[in-house]
Chain A
Amino acid sequence: MQSTQVRKRVPVSALLDPKIVWPAIVSAFVKLDPRLMIRNPVMFVVEVVAALTTVVFVRELVSGSPGLGFTFQIILWLWTTVLFANFAEAIAEGRGKAQADSLRRQRTQTQAKLMTGSGRDYRSVPSTSLKVGDIVLVAAGDTIPSDGEVIEGIASVNEAAITGESAPVIRESGGDRSAVTGGTQVLSDSIRVRITAAPGSTFLDRMIHLVEGAERQKTPNEIALNILLAGMTIIFVFATATIPSFANYAGGTISVVVVVALFVTLIPTTIGALLSAIGIAGMDRLVRFNVLAMSGRAVEASGDVDTLLLDKTGTITLGNRQATEFKPLRGVSEQELADAAQLASLADETPEGRSIVVLAKEKYGIRGRDLNELDAHFIPFTAQSRMSGVEVGGSWVRKGAVDAVLGLLKAPAASSQATALALQPAVSAETVRETNAIAEAIAKSGGTPLAVAKDGRLLGIVQLKDVIKGGIRERFVELRRMGIRTIMITGDNPMTAAAIAAEAGVDDFLAQATPEDKLRLIRDEQAKGRLVAMCGDGTNDAPALAQADVGVAMNTGTQAAREAGNMVDLDSNPTKLIEIVEIGKQLLMTRGSLTTFSIANDVAKYFAIIPAMFLAFYPQLAALNIMNLASPQSAILSAIIFNALIIVALIPLALKGVAYRPIGAAPLLRRNLLIYGVGGLVVPFIGIKAIDLAVTAIGLV
């Protein structure tokens, strides 16, 4: 659902965008530098053996051995394999670089108005010289020089540079909207900002680093996978390095280049080549979702999340309660109640009030009236009265909390309202009972009752309800299928919370939640071994955000919240937590699937190379040539060509990621095993045979 939002900022570049491909090709060669290659053990090994065989080749060239054409082609493909791996990484990085460049343009040198002394004076200094704790003045039209917190004033700020959203947002001192980001622009008014980031480590700087992948650290799971790949490489060193000796015993010789060819096809080059591209692409996908992860570790953790804490308002329900029904008391028509309720709400600018007007209009065709025309007097809501209403001529209408309205009717003498009220009779006990019954029923179903009284007569109750977001229920079903528990956090009382939780389909809820409750809930879940994700924006959310394994801070939130979380959502859309989990899972799935594919490929490669290798002295092993490849040379060449080409063929998959389906772990495993495990067994048999036909047809050997 966020995809349209995502695309607006940085369009997903086409895979073969020449602006990315050409630099990537150049970069593939630059990355041959062994100091860079060593970060990727599998491909480093390939480079080393390619270099060694090249040396052997040159020596043989000088001494003039036969069959050099074949050796040359093998060596060529060895280098190609390394280059393809570098190319995959460079393409992934290139896509990030395009975004980084557009960000960097925002980071132009600006002048900051540094406040001096305690007065209102300032002097102009370059923004790069600002230190943490400095106070600057930013007036309309100025670019905010660095990250900071508004300590005085209110301003509208254009944050398009960071979020891509051009509608300005309000930033003000105090409260939960005090954080400002360097590189954004103040449109109106002026604010004073206390700088909170050292030069070079601002939000924008971090964002550039992240999308460039420049300081990409290997994530824990990536490290573990690299160990597995390195271990398998060593196993195949033993398997292949012993072959010349065995062959010697059998009375034959095997050239170094053939052993190297077997070795390189066996070691997991496919996943080795694509591993870092997968990691970079995963980060990139998040950035495209307008989410910034402060570390790859957090992205990985999001795939592991067991429990999602979701705030009710804005995530599960639409922002505000809405009127859904008019419930008149006996002897009152719905029409009459709706009319009175609408009249009382005409001047009420709260979303609840507006929804009453709309409901009355939609359900009973009662059109809104102009208060000025009616010469009405609006009585606003106060925390003391807990009512609002209107007075038109001698008539009055009140709507508000049930007990408050009842109180008004019961004790007219105590009321400080218009004298007309005193003339009204007190409300009967039966009416009270009936009212309370209706109110209770509404509360039980998760709604809020609003009593409406007109001229001392109780007309009935307006039911206000939280409206569950469309499609959110289905999302929770999906999450449950993936084994993720959802817990709704709300300030409502337990009864209301339970009703909404049941309606939305969350697994659990935390009612009347305080920040301490949230923190305790996270700790409890973690003590049970679960990983917890949550999002938050306020300063009081900061401890919980820091405690959660995945804490997504809203970009509109406070600096404290943004520092505490390990991700920032630039769109400030809490529903995104669900997408973040999916991206994390997709990242891990892509790694696992390609690893499985890579390992399964080995079977076919053995059947291509082993008979070819030993045919000279054990002709009976031709029986193992089940693919019926043309000649030993063509078999070996085809295997190594397949091994190189499969890397390029899988780059799109590595960048896009394996398709994620919320179908539960067991079906998902079965599906991926079938595609990448069984597919990995079968595909190379077909591929190598096809390449062999081509190689023979062209006459390469």
Chain B
Amino acid sequence: MTANGWLQIIVYFVVLTALVLPLGRFMARVFEGERTLLSPVLRPVEIGLYRLAGVDATREQHCISYTIAMLVFNAAGFALVYALQRFQAVLPLNPAGMSAVAPDLAFNTAVSFTSNTNWQNYGGESTMSYLTQMAALTTQNFVSAATGIALVIALVRAFARTSAKTVGNFWVDLTRCTLYVLLPLAVLGALVLVWQGVPQNIGPYVDATTLEGAKQTLSQGPAASQIAIKQLGTNGGGFWSANSSVPYENPTPLSNFLQMLSILLIPAALTLTFGRMVRDERQGWALYAAMSAIFLAGVALCYWAESYGNTNFAALGLDPANMEGKEVRFGIANSSLWAVATTAASNGSVNAMHDSFTPLGGMIPIIMMQLGEIIYGGVGSGLYGMLLMVIVAVFVAGLMVGRTPEYLGKKIEAKEVKMALLAILVLPLFMLGFPAVAVLLPFGLSSMQDAGPHGFSEVLYLYTSQTANNGSAFAGFTGNTLWYNTTGGIAMLFGRYFVIIPMMAVAGSLVAKKTVPASAGTFPTHGGLFVGLLVGVILIIGGLTFFPALALGPVAEHFAMLTKSTF
């Protein structure tokens, strides 16, 4: 660990925190339908879009119709992505002559991109045509992100409104999010990336002669536009299969910093949007503080583990710090920070190979995902996941002050607890259930690259990442098999929509409730006490579930490493 490394981490966090306020307030204005800086340009476009689609922007939806609209929209997106992959061979914009994608892989990829996971069992440059990349994948990068944000806004309205029936209009929220938030930021990001050297073209692949005289084909494509939104929308699906460790995808230290920043930007700012919309910004800051506490602890642990490295190297007279699988240009601090940020948010883009991390260093990303992607989390999904956890925390702690628990003046009763738990239950079921089956089956075991606890970590990581809709991979794993494509697709599907449906049921129940005015008898949910309590509940409920699995994976590997046996 170096002072320079810590400094970079601190600068990163300070800049992130500084951006939360302006972006959070801006988004609140957007979703409250107020005038913003961009309105003069975008308002006519917005109105035109509604007219085109026949949407009555003034009509709000009941929570059930909101959910149904979202599901229909996502199902259509899934069908489009699936179809484009299957027919890409006969469709235009295919200069590299890619053939049709196999059904199981197409299924996995379609679920992956509609669910904002962006798990990739394929290499982009060797599988997808330009049309598929742009019309299917990049489009989903926008709308799956907008879907998540729209949903959380519906939930936030449910907290903010009193005895109401409707939670907003899905089509309006989706349009506003894409138009006012994602598109401007993505255009800005893409331009900066092009400036930093990321390709943005639809030309054929280029042949180059290397210094050794060998011939190398350099793949090309509309990369910058996809990379900007892959980070902003917590998608994470790389244009190239090695993701942001490829110089084309992440050419400079500045591009690295900005990409890391855009990973957490929107999820972090949404906490303030939430605070703003419930008319108490402190509530948003409290959630931001709880998220940041766990995030910074994770970064510190990961950075420490990677710097501490493998003690067996020290015995050989080598630097023990772990540089395996890391880009020399980024180093340990930036790789650790990226790894934790990308798994804390459900982003999944990587600039280093998590599989090569030390056992404990690699465990931190797994834990971040196991907590349910609520440490900032996916755009929208992170905050609604966090709010479900808040409901559980408030329910337990609220009783301790001798009142029926309430949060933001809404009483938390049987229905909310039931639905919050349903959503929370989905995670361990698939994160632990599928690995338990996979390690018993020959075609499950055959995909593993490594033996022992490390091989176990690989399987655990795979299902954890997909269920949590993260999408990053531990690598060292052949994921493109019928078994893993199918089960992974199912895990992503459930991990997304079977959290959303109970979450929206919570919203429907909350929005109809009266708001109880706060008094000295209600415990404040914006102070340090509440933040500490929330962190404790997240770690105990989220963390304890996975203790046995972690003990058999990274923890066992770590203690083995100390006794000079590695995997």
Contact = CB atoms under 8 A, between A and B. Distances in A.
Interface of A: 220-221, 223-225, 227-228, 231-232, 234-236, 238-243, 245-250, 262, 266, 300, 303-304, 306, 480-485, 528-531, 584-589, 591-593, 595-596, 599-600, 602-603, 606, 610-611, 613-614, 618, 620-621, 623-624, 660, 664-666, 668-670, 672-673, 676-677
A599 B540 contact: yes
Given A231-B422, A480-B520, 14 more contacts: A238-B433, A239-B545, A245-B437, A529-B162, A586-B402, A592-B399, A599-B396, A603-B544, A606-B544, A620-B562, A664-B521, A665-B523, A665-B524, A672-B401
Contacts, number: 219
B397 A673 contact: yes
Contacts of A249: 439-440, 445, 456, 552
8 tightest A-B CB contacts, nearest first: A483-B521, A592-B399, A585-B402, A483-B519, A231-B421, A620-B559, A483-B520, A592-B400
Given A227-B421, A246-B456, A483 B522 contact: yes
Contacts of A481: 520
Nearest to A307: B519
Nearest to B544: A602
A621 B402 contact: no
A245 B545 contact: no
B516 A242 contact: no
Contacts of A664: 520-521
B395 interface: yes
8 contacts: A242-B548, A246-B549, A248-B439, A303-B402, A592-B397, A599-B396, A606-B547, A666-B524
B197 interface: no
A529 B395 contact: no
Contacts of B199: none
Contact of A603 (B401, B517, B540): B540
B279 interface: no
Given A227-B418, A480-B520, A666-B523, A623 B559 contact: yes
Contacts of A306: 516-517, 519, 521
Contacts of A672: 400-401
Nearest to A602: B544
B1 interface: no
B529 interface: yes
Interface stretch (B45-53, B150-158, B423-431, B476-484): B423-431
A586 B529 CA distance: 21
A433 to B, nearest CB: 47
B364 to A, nearest CB: 18
Nearest to A303: B402
Nearest to A670: B529
B556 interface: yes
A303 B403 contact: yes
Contacts of B547: 239, 606, 610
Contacts of A586: 402
Given A610-B548, A665-B520, A589 B456 contact: no
Interface range on chain B (Cβ under 8 Å from partner): 35 or more
Given A250-B453, A306-B516, A620-B559, A224 B548 contact: no
Contacts of B514: 529
B548 A243 contact: yes
Nearest to B404: A304
Nearest to B460: A246
Interface of B: 162, 392, 395-404, 409, 412-414, 417-418, 421-422, 424-425, 428-429, 432-433, 435-437, 439-440, 445, 452-453, 456, 514-517, 519-524, 527, 529, 533, 536, 540-541, 544-549, 551-552, 555-556, 559-560, 562-563
Contacts of A262: 548
B440 to A, nearest CB: 6
A666 B529 CA distance: 8
Contact of B522 (A220, A234, A592, A665): A665
A592 to B, nearest CB: 3
A239 B432 contact: yes
Contact of A242 (B422, B432, B523): B432
Nearest to A252: B552
B429 A238 contact: yes
A240 B548 CA distance: 8
Contacts of A585: 401-403
Contacts of B397: 592, 596, 669, 673
A529 B523 contact: no
B387 to A, nearest CB: 16
Contacts of A613: 548
B402 A588 contact: yes
Contacts of B392: 228
B399 A595 contact: yes
Given A238-B545, A250-B456, A668-B402, A227 B414 contact: yes
B559 A592 contact: no
A618 B556 contact: yes
A235 B424 contact: yes
Contacts of B551: 610-611, 614, 621, 624
Nearest to B520: A483
B440 A614 contact: no
Nearest to A480: B520
A613 B547 CA distance: 13
Given A228-B392, A239-B547, A242-B432, A621 B555 contact: yes
A477 to B, nearest CB: 11
Contact of B424 (A231, A266, A587, A670): A231
B436 A242 contact: yes
Contacts of A232: 421, 541
A228 B420 CA distance: 9
A240 B428 CA distance: 11
B416 to A, nearest CB: 8
Contacts of A250: 452-453, 456, 552, 556
Given A621-B555, A677-B536, A246 B548 contact: yes
B414 A224 contact: yes
Given A303-B403, A530-B517, A589-B400, A228 B395 contact: yes
A624 B551 CA distance: 9
B499 to A, nearest CB: 14
Contacts of B524: 665-666
A177 B521 CA distance: 37
B549 A242 contact: yes
Contacts of A611: 551
B519 A484 contact: yes
Contacts of A266: 544
Given A235-B425, A484-B521, A606-B544, A591 B399 contact: yes
B540 A593 contact: no
Contacts of B515: 529
Nearest to B416: A224
B401 A589 contact: yes
B556 A614 contact: yes
A248 B519 CA distance: 55
A234 B432 CA distance: 13
B446 to A, nearest CB: 13
Contact of A221 (B404, B433, B516): B404
B541 to A, nearest CB: 7
A240 B78 CA distance: 35
Contacts of A620: 556, 559-560, 562-563
Contacts of B541: 232, 235, 599
A670 B414 CA distance: 25
Contacts of B433: 238, 242
A262 B445 CA distance: 27
Nearest to A300: B404
Contact of A227 (B398, B417, B432, B522): B417
A250 B456 CA distance: 8
A593 B541 CA distance: 16
A228 B421 contact: yes
B535 to A, nearest CB: 12
Given A239-B428, A610-B551, A618-B556, A482 B540 contact: no
Max chain A C-beta neighbours (<10 A), residue from B401, B435, B560, B562: B401
